[in-house]
């Protein structure tokens, strides 16, 4: 069961279940540090909307620029392959998708670290790592170097995919966070769309190396904004800073006799537990939480389908419609239209739907109230796949595949946003670890799908190939909202980490 109480909303899960809620309560020689009442301005949930949206915008910018790099090389991959003498189609696809493989591994470490050292610190250090290796990609001299540098860049670039959701969970109350998550969820999907559009013209007018150098310049600007404006949002870190300030200002004799700790202090809030407990939390969530396993599996299919499209759109329009590289790259805009249009619809609907059902439930919200707008997403995705495949197969006017691609984009973003919001609502305090667990599976799919796409389409054609994907989307996706609407609360009741 959720609550609108900001203090209870900032404390989720059993780690804090038995703690006192008073801000400065003494038990003999123990002083418990908490927020100064429900309206404490230091609590990120009480920040002004301007301050919350500043944090949301910066995190979304981090989440946008990294996925731009993930797919931006796709239109220039033939140019790169020619320079390095790559003839194997799988290796050419690997240059693009190995970045996404790093997305699967990075959050498993970086997400839990943000729950130890804070969101802002880990996020910005990881982005600097990404910036350095992405710059290095532009100087690669052989296939081995480009693959290694791409993987290392992806490790750093993966941080926003899990930590960003944690930041939004820290700042926004459940009834407010729909629009913020809509923006945040759009960024990692719109980034891979804009990247190839730009890269197609870069590859045509310049060299593939500028694909990496240009994204490095943009990321350096975003990094500067982060250093200047992104503040820490994680409640345990903020309260620990408050406790340290109390210790510093206390009389030394009294300080020796009194233990000062926060309501979040427990064994896993210290460095000794980083490996033993916090870093294994995403694995525990993945294998022990049916919510993460089931929704993560469907999200993996959705994300894999997106990256499959990202690596095949240029082939459809260059080979089937004989378009030049730059013109073919413009067809990625259709995917962007679907993603952006559906995202705008969902941004306005998520919170309204949530409040409507919460009101009918005696004012008590539930994560399941995020699922209704997922229903059209599960329908649009297979329809878009069928239209794209058979219009391309039959060489209809180019607008036919673009309509299908736009519907695929709409289905992807509706599913993506609803699933991410559900996970953040259900695992608020451990949102970073929960998203890391879900990100692992989806990133594995994003890595693997483009590798088998050439062989599948060569053997079956676009019509039959996309029909198989549409059938999977129907069988796996359509029942998902109903299952979690009906049984979601029962599943969460048996969970150690989910909010009851």
Write the DSSP assignment of 326-340 as a string of letters. Answer: HHHHTTHHHHHHHHH
* Same-domain check for residues 426 and 437: yes
* Same-domain check for residues 369 and 415: yes
Instruction: Specify burial of residue 271 (Cβ count, 10 A radius: 0-12, 13-18, 19+).
Output: exposed
Please give the structure tokens belonging to residue 279: 């870093």
**How does residue 470 score in pLDDT terms, banded at 50, 70 and 90?**
very high
Q: How large is the average pLDDT for residues 122-150?
A: 94
Q: How large is the average pLDDT for residues 298-317?
A: 82
Determine, yes or no, domain membership for 63.
yes
* Same-domain check for residues 14 and 147: no
Q: Which of 274, 277, 293 is nearest to 437 (CA)?
A: 293
CA–CA separation, 412 and 303 (whole Å)? 7
pLDDT of 276: 53
User: Which residue do the tokens 């870093």 mark?
Assistant: 279
Number of domains in the chain: 2
Q: How large is the average pLDDT for residues 145-153?
A: 94
| Domain of residue 199, CATH code | 1.20.1250.20
Q: How large is the average pLDDT for residues 419-439?
A: 80
* Same-domain check for residues 255 and 399: no
* Same-domain check for residues 186 and 259: no
pLDDT of 24: 42
Asked whether the beta carbons of 187 and 63 are under 8 A apart, the reply is yes
Q: Which of 72, 310, 80 is nearest to 212 (CA)?
A: 72
CA–CA separation, 46 and 478 (whole Å)? 38
pLDDT of 12: 37
Determine, yes or no, domain membership for 451.
yes
Lowest-pLDDT choice from 197-201, 411-415, 477-481? 197-201
Please give the structure tokens belonging to residue 439: 């990100």
For the cut 60, the answer to whether the pLDDT of residue 273 exceeds it is no
Give the relative orientation of helices 290-315 and 177-205 as an angle to the nearest 10 degrees: 30
Give the relative orientation of helices 119-137 and 209-229 as an angle to the nearest 10 degrees: 160
The DSSP code for 31 is E
Please tell me which of 226-230, 249-253, 423-427 the model is most confident about, judged by mean pLDDT: 226-230
pLDDT of 218: 92
The SS3 assignment for 166 reads helix
Question: Strand (E) positions, 309-385?
Answer: none
* Same-domain check for residues 206 and 118: yes
Please give the structure tokens belonging to residue 401: 């595949």
Q: How large is the average pLDDT for residues 273-286?
A: 67
User: Which residue do the tokens 């289905």 mark?
Assistant: 411
Domain final position from 224, 244, 269: 269
* Same-domain check for residues 241 and 339: no
Asked whether the beta carbons of 150 and 197 are under 8 A apart, the reply is no
Please give the structure tokens belonging to residue 407: 């519907």
CA–CA separation, 477 and 296 (whole Å)? 12
- Domain span at residue 250 reads 6-38+235-269
Asked whether the beta carbons of 53 and 66 are under 8 A apart, the reply is no
* Same-domain check for residues 22 and 168: no
Q: Give the pLDDT confidence of 4-54 residue by residue, as tens digits.
A: 443 334 333 334 333 334 444 444 577 888 898 888 999 999 999 999 999
Q: How large is the average pLDDT for residues 306-334?
A: 81
Q: Give the pLDDT confidence of 229-256 residue by residue, as tens digits.
A: 899 999 889 998 998 888 888 777 766 6
The DSSP code for 250 is S
Determine, yes or no, domain membership for 274.
no
pLDDT of 425: 84
Specify the pTM: 0.72
pLDDT of 140: 92
Please give the structure tokens belonging to residue 13: 């899960």
CA–CA separation, 109 and 116 (whole Å)? 11
Give kind and range of the element (H or E) at residue 260: strand 259-262
CA–CA separation, 405 and 387 (whole Å)? 8
* Same-domain check for residues 125 and 240: no
Average pLDDT, the chain: 82
Q: How large is the average pLDDT for residues 370-381?
A: 92
For the cut 50, the answer to whether the pLDDT of residue 85 exceeds it is yes
pLDDT of 26: 42
pLDDT of 499: 56
Please give the structure tokens belonging to residue 153: 């860049």
Determine, yes or no, domain membership for 500.
no
pLDDT of 25: 43
Please tell me which of 74-83, 374-383, 449-458 the model is most confident about, judged by mean pLDDT: 374-383
* Same-domain check for residues 264 and 149: no
The DSSP code for 316 is I
CA–CA separation, 19 and 420 (whole Å)? 28
Asked whether the beta carbons of 35 and 7 are under 8 A apart, the reply is yes
Q: How large is the average pLDDT for residues 106-130?
A: 88
Please give the structure tokens belonging to residue 112: 């839990």
Q: Which of 106, 166, 437 is nearest to 294 (CA)?
A: 437
Bigger pLDDT: 328 vs 172? 172
Determine, yes or no, domain membership for 377.
yes
* Same-domain check for residues 89 and 121: yes
Q: Give the pLDDT confidence of 185-212 residue by residue, as tens digits.
A: 778 777 777 877 787 777 777 788 988 9
The dihedrals phi and psi of 259, each to the nearest 5 degrees, come to: -95, 125
Q: Which residues of 296-325 are buried (b: 16+ CB within 10 A; e: fewer)?
A: bebbbbbbbbbbbbbbbbbbbbbebeebeb
**How does residue 437 score in pLDDT terms, banded at 50, 70 and 90?**
confident
Q: How large is the average pLDDT for residues 125-132?
A: 95
Q: How large is the average pLDDT for residues 253-271?
A: 68
pLDDT of 259: 80
Determine, yes or no, domain membership for 300.
yes
Percent of the chain's residues with pLDDT above 90: 25
* Same-domain check for residues 419 and 398: yes
């Amino acid at each position: 069961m959720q609550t609108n109480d900001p203090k209870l909303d900032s404390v989720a899960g059993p780690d804090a279940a038995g703690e006192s809620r008073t801000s400065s309560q003494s038990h003999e020689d123990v002083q418990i540090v908490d927020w100064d009442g429900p309206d404490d301005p230091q609590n990120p949930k009480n920040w002004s909307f301007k301050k919350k949206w500043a944090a949301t915008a910066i995190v979304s910018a981090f989440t946008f620029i990294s996925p731009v790099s993930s797919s931006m090389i796709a239109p220039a991959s033939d140019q790169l392959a020619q320079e390095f003498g790559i003839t194997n189609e799988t290796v050419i696809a690997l240059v693009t998708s190995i970045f996404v493989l790093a997305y699967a591994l990075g959050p498993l470490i970086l997400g839990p670290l943000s729950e130890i050292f804070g969101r802002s610190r880990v996020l910005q250090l990881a982005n600097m790592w990404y910036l350095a290796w992405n710059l290095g990609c532009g100087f690669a001299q052989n296939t081995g170097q480009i693959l290694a540098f791409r993987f290392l860049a992806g490790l750093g670039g993966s941080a926003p995919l899990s930590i960003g959701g944690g930041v939004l969970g820290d700042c926004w109350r459940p009834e407010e966070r729909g629009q913020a998550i809509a923006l945040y969820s759009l960024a990692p999907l719109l980034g891979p769309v804009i990247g190839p559009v730009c890269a197609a013209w870069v590859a045509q007018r310049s060299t593939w190396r500028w694909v990496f150098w240009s994204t490095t310049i943009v990321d350096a600007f975003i990094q500067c904004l982060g250093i200047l404006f992104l503040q820490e949002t994680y409640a345990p870190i903020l309260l620990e800073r408050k406790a340290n300030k109390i210790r510093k200002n206390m009389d030394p004799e009294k300080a020796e006799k009194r233990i000062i700790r926060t309501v979040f202090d427990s064994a896993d809030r210290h460095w000794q537990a980083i490996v033993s407990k916090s870093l294994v939390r995403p694995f525990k969530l993945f294998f022990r939480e049916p919510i993460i396993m089931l929704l993560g599996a469907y999200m993996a299919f959705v994300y894999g389908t997106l990256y499959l499209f990202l690596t095949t759109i240029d082939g459809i329009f260059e080979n089937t419609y004989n378009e030049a590289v730059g013109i073919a790259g413009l067809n990625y805009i259709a995917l962007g239209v679907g993603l952006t249009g559906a995202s705008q619809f969902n941004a306005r609907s998520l919170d309204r739907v949530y409040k409507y059902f919460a009101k009918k439930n005696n004012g008590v919200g539930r994560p399941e109230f995020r699922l209704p707008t997922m229903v059209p997403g599960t329908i649009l995705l297979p329809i878009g796949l069928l239209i794209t495949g058979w219009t391309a197969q039959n060489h209809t006017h180019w607008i036919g595949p673009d309509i299908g691609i736009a519907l695929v984009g709409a289905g992807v973003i509706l599913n993506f946003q609803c699933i991410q919001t559900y996970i953040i609502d259900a695992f608020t305090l451990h949102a970073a670890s929960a998203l890391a667990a879900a990100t692992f599976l989806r990133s594995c799919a994003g890595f693997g799908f483009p590798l088998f796409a050439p062989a599948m389409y060569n053997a079956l054609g676009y019509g039959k190939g996309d029909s198989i994907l549409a059938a999977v989307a129907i069988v796996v996706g359509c029942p998902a909202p109903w299952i979690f609407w009906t049984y979601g609360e029962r599943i969460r009741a048996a969970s150690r980490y989910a909010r009851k």
